[in-house]
Structure formats: structure tokens, C-alpha cells
Amino acid sequence: MSLFKSHKLNERQCEILASKNLPTKWGKLSFTQREAIAAIEEMLQYVEAKYNKKFCYNGYTAKNALFGDEEALFTYAEGDDPATSTFSVERTEDGFTDGYAWVTQAPIVQADIEKRFGKIFAGESYKIFAEITGVADDGRVKAVDICMYIENTSEEKLEKSMDLVVKEIDDDKIFYDLTLYWLKDGFLSKMDKKNHQDCFEIDDIIDMYLSSRIYIRDTERGWVKDE
């Protein structure tokens, strides 16, 4: 497509431009704006064809060599929560690549962790949140951060639980980074996936326990207590 010739914008392009208070007529856009809206549509069409579903615009960054920015579209599947399900589409020499696997694998990983760790923390007042931090090119999950929150318990119980958690994940190929927070009572009811790290202050933490592949390999019990 020539960015100098007249071009009819589609409805989606007009909606995106209007949301940014930009002209919705091709002839009134600057060269840079034409370049961006054309790239956005191209990337949306790519991801929609790949996954056979509609995706929504949630941001765009143009390539900027001066500041080290790579071109990226930020999008989410129609019906998903943009706060938790937005991913990037990036241009490569061969076409495009995308991070939708980070979104589709997230509930699978969360359910797996809840099932496995739920047996360990049975009878406790707790919540667990898993966040994918690494995905291979084939969509396989490589790394996961896990935040565990416990209230109304004892140090003895927590240490036994950490021993069992380390044993549970010891043979996994996924790299886990785990943090167990022992909190004062009253915070769990306020927590969800979006806000769990913002529900408490440092003074609300009674104790904190950490584990990762490094601790599993280099410490006697596979975890450390953060004093």
C-alpha cells in the first residue's frame, strides 16, 4: 500500500484514530500516522487469521532506533479482560510473532498450581497467584512466578509447607520463583489476580519465605526465610 495515495480507512481504523483524537480521513493524516494505522491493521489481521478470532486494539509503539523501541502492537482477544490478557505482536524479518501463548497458558498454569499446592495448604487460610514470566517459541511455558499468601497460621506449619512445596516442584522443567507471604489477618478477602501485590504494606508481613531453582540447588532445605 502506498502511504501517499488515497486510501479508505475501515471502521476499526476510524475507531482507533477517533479514540486518539486523530483525523479519520486518510488525506488528513500525517505520513507517520498513516504508517502507524496501516501497521496496526496489518498486525490485527495477522493475529486474527492465526487464531481465528477477533482481537481488539490496546496500544501501539512504532520502531524508534534512537530510543531502542521495537515496533509492537498491544492487543487482546474480544471478550477478554485487557488488564490481564493484553499481549504484544511484533514485526520480524519473516513476518510477525506474538505472545498470545502467555495469555492462553495462564489459566492452565494457575489451575495446575492451585491443584498441586492446594493439597499442601489444605485447612489453611491462603491464596495463590501464578504469573507466567517465560514462554518458549513453541508456546511451552518456561518460567513462572508464584505468590502465596497465608493468614492465621504458625511458623512451624509454614516451614513444613515450604518443604512440601519444594518437593512438589523439584523435578519440574519449569523455572519457578516462589514467594510465600505470612500476613496479618484481614487481607486475603481483598485479594484478586489484579491487585494482590497492592493489598498490603511491608509492616503487614509477619514473615516471608523464598524459593527458586537457585535455592533448591544451593540451600539445605531448598528455600530461605527473608528476615
Q: In a structure prediction context, what are the per-residue pLDDT tens digits for the chain, which is 227 residues long?
A: 566 566 889 999 999 999 999 999 999 999 999 999 999 999 999 999 999 999 999 999 998 766 667 899 999 999 999 988 999 999 988 899 999 999 999 999 999 999 999 999 999 999 999 999 999 988 899 999 999 999 999 999 999 999 999 999 988 999 999 999 999 999 999 999 999 999 999 999 999 999 998 888 888 899 999 86
- pLDDT score for 214: 87
CB-count burial class (<10 Å; 0-12, 13-18, 19+) for 99? middle
Grid cell of 54 as nine digits: 477477533
Indicate the DSSP class of residue 170.
Answer: T
- pLDDT score for 213: 87
What is the total residue count of the chain?
Answer: 227
- pLDDT score for 85: 94
Grid cell of 51 as nine digits: 487464531
- pLDDT score for 226: 87
Indicate the DSSP class of residue 70.
Answer: P
In degrees, rounded to 5, the angle at the alpha carbon of residue 162 between the alpha carbons of residues 157 and 167 is 130
Rounded CA-CA distance 207/204 in Å is 9
Q: Which residues pair with residue 77 across a beta bridge?
A: 55
